[in-house]
Amino acid sequence: MATTKEKQVKALVYVRQKWVDETGSGEIFRSPNAKPDRVNLVIPATHFDISDRNFVEVVFWPEALADHPVKSVKAFIPKQEITLIVELESPDALPALGYKTTAD
């Protein structure tokens, strides 16, 4: 079982909604903070890594897996599909931005 610390949101990763739709991964990437008319989907990430030349590695806890033994997903998203990464020094700022403080 994951600890609260492991589930702390460390960044908000903005991904082009068009890419999510084209890959058919909408259910995995569905976010409680997403609105259907958005150009970007906001992923509350517990880990991210931009060191790869072509991809951003993102770990998050999707709602779709809430009732399954595996709760987190590690995704490799093409860098050109990422529009913004907001790295947080502390998840305490999330409520002020309108987001949850942990991935449920």
Q: What is the pLDDT of residues 18-28, one digit of tens each?
A: 999 999 988 88
pTM: 0.79
pLDDT, tens digit (0-9, with 9 covering 90-100), for 63-97: 777 777 777 889 999 999 999 999 988 777 777 77
Q: Work out the percent of the chain whose per-residue pLDDT is above 90.
A: 38
Write down the pLDDT at residue 36.
Answer: 63
d(CA 44, CA 61): 8
Encoded amino acid at 35, one letter: K
Of the candidates 78, 82, 29, 85, the one whose C-alpha atom is nearest the C-alpha of residue 55 is 78
Domain boundaries, the chain: 11-97
